[in-house]
Structure 1
Amino acid sequence: MNRRRLSGSSTTLSDRRGTEPFHGLVDRTLKRPVSSALGVLAVLSIGWFTVGVAHVPVSPSPAWSVTVLSAVLAALACRDTARSESLTARVRSFWQAFAAAVGLIAVGVISNAYDALSGPGTPSQQIGPVTLGIYLCGVLIALGALLRLPIGRRSRTEWLTLGLDAGIVMLSAGLFAWYFVIHGSPEMTVVTGSSLPGLIVIMLGFVAVLAAVKLALIGTGPLDRHALSLLGVAVLVAATGGALMPLLSSMPWLSSAHVAVPAACFVLALAAERQRQAAGLPALAPRRRPFSLLPYSAITATGALLLVSAWEPGDETRVIAVGTLAIVALVVVRQIMAFYDNAGLLRRLDASMLELSRHEQRLRSLVQNSSDMIAITDKDMTLVYVSPSSERVLGIPAEQGAGQPVTRRVHPDDLPVFDELARKLLNVPDASAVCQVRMLHADGSWRWLEIVATNRMDDPSVAGIVSNSRDITETRRVQDQLVHQASHDGLTGLANRTLFAERATEALDGAEGHAVALALVDLDDFKGVNDRLGHAVGDALLVAVADRLRACVRPHDTVARLGGDEFAVLMPDVSADEAGAIAGRIITELGAPVGAAGHNLLVRASVGLAGGRPDDDAPGDAPRMDASELLRRADVAMYAAKEQGKSRYARYAETMDTCAVEHARLGAELQRALTSDELFLLYQPVVTLPDGELSGVEALVRWRHPERGLVSPAEFIPVAERNGMIVQLGAQVLREACRQMADWRRRYGDAAPARIGVNVSARQLREPTFPQTVADVLTDTGLEPGDLLLEITETAVFDGGPALQAVRAVRELGVHVALDDFGTGHSSLGLLRTCPVDVLKVDKSFVDGVTGTAEQSAIATSLAQIARALRLRTVAEGVETEAQARRLYQLGYRLAQGFHFARPLPAEEIDDLLAVREAANAEPLDRPALAG
């Protein structure tokens, strides 16, 4: 805050050192040896002087000794303060000068004692010229030390005020000095024998007044104000003591110096101690007095002098003097009250200005350090003011942005949004609006800004639109990324199921009579890739498939990954022929080898194609066309393609729904059949060639429906495969077959079949618990592992993976394994080396041609030779004629099964055969004779 002076005041609003109780300063001073000695000497001098006034002492020498010692100790105290390292150089210099001045005064006291105690008429109060000269030098050094204290810079008005106040005080002091010269100095001259003591007293008085002026009006500079006050008191005590010397003219053995000098020296010691301690005291609040009392004290003192001097002439003069003093006193009181009123007004004004300044600084700091850009635009959307934060937000200095149209930096695509913001604001006073637009950064990039603007045109201090803009580029980027992640597949980058459903709905709602087609793509046997090569290769394959699907469709078509290995292609505004062509192109593209993680893979896919219109009014109870219905139809068509042999596409037809409904109904009924004993087993014999002796049996499941009668396995087995019930069904068949075989072993011994064959589906082999299920069944039924033959298909183990591991696991149990329908699936001779099998079962399609030409029987012949080379047993399936049986025997087959030997039989009929065989001592079955 700026320093202020009021009329008649020299008080500055500068920091003050804190004060302490006077008794605390005295206590601390008395703890120092020099200062405590001065205190003792001051007390002794006062006591000695009191006694000397009442009684004539024997000799004044002790009093002069105390006086001399006090002056010497005071000089030492000032020297100790001057040596304090905690003080500034100017303060140490002042105390050094003051120590020198007190030292000279100590010498002067010694000389004064000599004058008083030597010569004729002693003791006396005479002062010699040498003594007066020494005193005068000490006073002049002290006066010079005060005058050298620095004075701060002031304005001309302040110097004028200071001069007036100082003039009042000095003029008052001059009147007192004049009065002393007229009335007191002659008596002092008579007592001391010289006029110089009076001059010294006057000078000491002026030194005290100068100290007061320095303290109250000018300020202390680097000197502690309380130390300076104590110095003034010390000088005033010395001057007062000198002025009282005429009162002791009748007592020559006494001198006012006996009590004035020790008392002044003790006060001087207090001042020195205060100066030493001032550096460590905390600063308090600045003084708040609006004026200085010193000029008014001088006026009051002068008035008192006037009253004293005018008291003798007469009553009239005394009345006038008293009245004049009363008027002056009232004017002084009125002036002081006015000063206090003005000071109060100034304090309130200063407080208001300070608060306003704080608000202004706070607002400026907020604007300058805000991360948002604050701007004011006129009605033409031209920038009138831009905050410094524009350089952080857009890289543009504030001075460069001012005066430019805002639209110059708005992205062209976002101009309609910004124009709408301006339209809303300009038409309604105090209206607020928010928008998000892109603005050009100084580096050439576009930054998203969120602008909150308010119309302040009606505010004269603003007269514009105030906007607050913050950079939300990173927020928008994260939001866009989250939106993309929420609507796209993380692996392939295709649309996910949610986005696909939205676009399908939009396509159907906006088709306006145009057809919309959906191709549902499902990769065939994809699980084998994951199981055999790992999920990393599987993921790479899915990414490659996604890229190929993108290449097969039109620019405005949507390719989505619905989950796993299932993809969908949405084709709006497409004809049936175009949709078929795209589906065919997908089959062709996916049929080519695909590179995935260093592997070249052959991918096959089944595609279901469905189309519809939004206004499709299906007859009957069929659901209205929507996205879910379109997807359902494509799914039905896709499963139809799989049933037709895979790697093809099928177009949806209403008859497929009938089949799907039938399959669903059959699946539900099959679930019931598993728990209601509707399923049973038949056993087809496997005989030896050429004699037709029973070698083993194959367990075949049948379903006796309570309403439909016997249901063919060709109907319910595919349903069980599709819905996963084949696992439960297979486990039940395995347990029942093993139980029956164990029963035959117990009852017929060696006459029982050598082993029983049980069909196992690919789905069962993929179950991690399948080997344990086999082990548990063998344990529970008591069947030997070697009596069980598990029949699997080539397709189930062609891709390896868990299925092949399961086969190896059951082989380790001692169970035999047969490849069923060998030659019809993924036929590979390498499979015979990798898959641990014991038996090859040659499919009926190869057996049918054994009686034909050499070309027709070539496969059956080759398989028999391969089996012999690999030491595998072969079983010819589907033998229906004697000629086939004879020819198979000639080709090397020794086991066969088929209707020529026996149809599948219930367990009771197998019991009859075994009983006959046991009774006939294992004679051959009564069957047509075979070729020898």
Structure 2
Amino acid sequence: MGTGQRPVRRAAFADPLFVGLVVFSVLGLLWYLVPLANLEGMIRLFWPAQVVLDLTICLTSWQIWKMSGAVPATRRFWRSMAGATLLFSVGDSYQAVIAVGATPEKAITGGPVQLAFLAVGVAMPLWAMITHPIQAVRRGERLRFWLDAVIILAAVCAFIWVYSVSGAGGTGLPRLVLTVAGAAGMLICALGVLKLALGGNPPFTRAAAAVGIIGVTMTGAGIAVGGTLTDAGHYNLAMAASFVPCVVMAFAPKIQELGMRHGAATSTARRHGRVSVLPYVAVAATYALLVSVLWSAELSPRAWGIVAGAIVITTLVVARQLAALAENGALLHTIAQQEARFRALVQHASDITIVADSDAVITYASPAVQRVLGIAPEDVTGLTLQALIHPDDLEPLSLPADEAAVQTSQLRVRHADGSWRWLEVTSTNRLHDENVRGYICNARDVTEARAFQDQLRFDATHDALTGLANRLLFHRKLRGPASPGDPEALVGVLAIDLDGFKAINDTLGHHVGDEVLAMVAERLRRCVRPYDTVARLGGDEFAVILSPTTEQFADATADRIRAAVTQPAVIDGHHLQVGASVGVAIGTRTSADGLLRTADAAMYRAKRGGRDALAAS
């Protein structure tokens, strides 16, 4: 036990049942090994002692089964143990009655009824062990698990053969059948124990597992030597060989119960990549068994040299394998740490990472997709990049064609709520990389930054009061490129000055004047086409660019503007009316620099001609 098991050790010797088991074991061992009573007295107490141990295991297993902290698979195993030992106690109680007055051989050997209860009871935990889920889920782990199990089972078979089956010859068919059946039971039991030990999530603590394995091993040894001791008349030793393993088995569930009650781990789950040493222990044990059998065979020095060479070579191969496994384990641990670090970075990164194949089908999306776009990563996987992007932004998406080339673009991607978010996407071509085989797209949300930049650009080119184009944007539009279809198309410029505005502004205040200017701006918008440009050049001066136009259309638009502006309006409780003097100039964009001056001159002529006048040049 490690430092985490020290409270369990202290609690064990404060537990009445544990202390009782210790006292019972010591007294029982003395009872059979020291002639404190005659043979008949030993036999009379043999089966009642077994019943006490059976009920102790049953009670402790039942307590483990009822613990709420145990996982379902663990509770299922200990429930089967409680049921099995309850059956053992029934069979042993029956045998205790039969043993009264029977010969020593029949009294200490289980009868048919006791063996039947024993067989049914053993089947219950064996089935729970064999069907217990294993932790290995990948193919490589499952293969390693079964290879380890087969190696250890082969060693178990060798021991069973040497000490049980091969020694049963010449003792009669019943003894041979019983011996073979016991050997088969031991083999099945070994398979179940191995599955729990190697499967990665056994239903017992490390300490309870160690005690249980010792008990199972001693049980097999007791079966192997029990018949021989009985035939030789050593009845007390035969009973001790059966009693001691049962006592050891009784300690296993108690240690498990104490461990779970005082916070020890309820299972010995394997760490990822950890290699079990049990197969190598099995190899060493098998070689030791081979040497013990060959020792009495009187081999020649030449044969012993071959045996020694085989042992040395196997030892070196095993040592080399263990060194390689240790190195691989350290490498896997480093890789696991790096993978965990990468996953932690990706899980909490604010930027989106997407991998798309050569057909632009998304094969991976990081969790940031959920935070930025409100879409679960698994819902994005399998879609094409084009399915997420605004139709007008498909062209900027163009993925880099050259290997390792990088391309950055800004485009709109649909959010789960139906809105569009601006993303700055950096795409890298990693189609040649066998670990990626696709395009890596890193995207960050620039919606707010883009909106701020758009607002700055708008403020720089638009009038703050009316929202119309300012003088800078007006001149930019006027000097813009000619129409591709008709480079000589006419452009009309209308210069507009309000009549009567200064009086309103001076007498009623600037806030009323501002309302008048905003009203005029709205009326001007309604008088022109959506693609024409309306601008406020400053004060109460406005201008309009009509492109394309004709002289007739420009004059008609000017008339509409004069009529719309002169409509009376109620502003801040005042009935107000302003007029408009409009100057019109027509020309091509090649003469754009002079068009505004010409329109201004026409406007001033109209102003001199009277309020609400029109002049053309």
8 Å contact 2:422–2:447 — kept in the other structure?
yes
Paired position in structure 1 for 2:161: 174
Q: Is 1:293 the counterpart of 2:281 in the alignment?
A: yes
Give the Cα separation in 2 of the matches to 1:176 and 1:487: 100
Structural RMSD (CA): 6.8
Shift of 1:98: 3.3
| Structural mapping, 1:438-449, within 5 Å | none
Shift of 1:293: 2.6
Choose which of 433, 458, 466 in structure 2 pairs with 1:492.
Answer: 466
| Structural mapping, 1:546-561, within 5 Å | 546-547=521-522, 560-561=535-536
8 Å contact 2:523–2:565 — kept in the other structure?
no
Q: Is 1:93 the counterpart of 2:75 in the alignment?
A: no
Paired position in structure 2 for 1:541: 516
8 Å contact 1:104–1:138 — kept in the other structure?
yes
Q: Summarize deviations over 1:555-601 as a string: whole Å, max 9, x none.
A: 9996544666x33437899xxx99xx999979975894512359784
Give the Cα separation in 2 of the matches to 1:494 and 1:30: 91
Give the Cα separation in 1 of the matches to 2:180 and 2:529: 118
| Structural mapping, 1:46-445, within 5 Å | 46-47=29-30, 52=35, 67=46, 70-84=49-63, 85-86=66-67, 88-89=75-76, 91-101=78-88, 104-105=91-92, 108=95, 127-128=103-104, 130-132=106-108, 134=110, 138=114, 141-142=117-118, 145-146=121-122, 149-150=126-127, 151=130, 166-177=153-164, 211-212=189-190, 214-216=192-194, 224=204, 225-226=209-210, 228-233=212-217, 235-236=219-220, 238-239=222-223, 242=226, 245=229, 255-256=236-237, 259-260=240-241, 263-276=244-257, 281-282=264-265, 283-286=267-270, 288-289=275-276, 291=279, 293-294=281-282, 296-307=284-295, 309-310=296-297, 317=299, 319=301, 323=305, 325-337=307-319, 339-340=321-322, 343=325, 347=329, 383=359, 385=361, 430-435=404-409
SS at match of 2:159: helix
- The 3 A distance-change label for structure 1 pair 61 and 26 is farther
Q: Which amino acid letter does the alignment assign opposite residue 247 of structure 2?
A: F
Shift of 1:75: 1.9
User: Which moves more between the two structures, 149-158 or 95-104?
Assistant: 149-158
| Structural mapping, 1:337-736, within 5 Å | 337=319, 339-340=321-322, 343=325, 347=329, 383=359, 385=361, 430-435=404-409, 452-453=426-427, 480=454, 483-496=457-470, 499=473, 520-521=497-498, 523-527=501-505, 530=508, 535=511, 540-547=515-522, 560-561=535-536, 566-569=540-543, 589=563, 592-596=566-570, 601-604=575-578
Give the Cα separation in 2 of the matches to 1:583 and 1:495: 19
SS at match of 1:596: strand
Q: Which amino acid letter does the alignment assign opposite residue 96 of structure 1?
A: G
Q: Summarize deviations over 1:701-753 as a string: whole Å, max 9, x none.
A: xxxxxxxxxxxxxxxxxxxxxxxxxxxxxxxxxxxxxxxxxxxxxxxxxxxxx
- The 3 A distance-change label for structure 1 pair 601 and 77 is same
Shift of 1:397: 9.0
Shift of 1:267: 1.5
> TM-score with structure 2 length normalisation?
0.61
Give the Cα separation in 1 of the matches to 2:148 and 2:322: 17
Choose which of 8, 17, 22 in structure 2 pairs with 1:39.
Answer: 22
Q: Which amino acid letter does the alignment assign opposite residue 134 of structure 1?
A: G
- Structure with larger RCO (C-alpha < 8 A, sep 6+): 2
8 Å contact 2:355–2:363 — kept in the other structure?
yes
8 Å contact 2:356–2:362 — kept in the other structure?
yes
SS at match of 1:494: coil
- The 3 A distance-change label for structure 1 pair 266 and 560 is same
8 Å contact 1:71–1:261 — kept in the other structure?
no
Structure 2 unaligned regions, length at least 5: 68-73, 135-141, 482-490, 586-592
Give the Cα separation in 2 of the matches to 1:555 and 1:175: 102
Give the Cα separation in 1 of the matches to 2:444 and 2:536: 38
User: Which moves more between the two structures, 206-215 or 350-359?
Assistant: 350-359
Paired position in structure 2 for 1:689: none
- The 3 A distance-change label for structure 1 pair 440 and 295 is closer
| Structural mapping, 1:824-835, within 5 Å | none
Shift of 1:175: 2.7
> TM-score with structure 1 length normalisation?
0.44
8 Å contact 2:421–2:447 — kept in the other structure?
yes
8 Å contact 2:33–2:240 — kept in the other structure?
no
Shift of 1:41: 2.7
Identity of aligned residues (%): 20
Give the Cα separation in 2 of the matches to 1:606 and 1:156: 93
- The 3 A distance-change label for structure 1 pair 457 and 554 is closer
8 Å contact 1:492–1:542 — kept in the other structure?
yes
Greater C-alpha radius of gyration? 1
| Structural mapping, 1:749-760, within 5 Å | none
Give the Cα separation in 2 of the matches to 1:374 and 1:272: 52
- The 3 A distance-change label for structure 1 pair 588 and 599 is farther
SS at match of 2:236: coil
SS at match of 2:457: helix
Shift of 1:96: 2.7
- The aligned length equals 550
SS at match of 1:79: helix
Give the Cα separation in 1 of the matches to 2:334 and 2:302: 48
Shift of 1:545: 3.0
Give the Cα separation in 1 of the matches to 2:47 and 2:609: 135
Q: Which amino acid letter does the alignment assign opposite residue 594 of structure 1?
A: P
Give the Cα separation in 1 of the matches to 2:6 and 2:345: 50
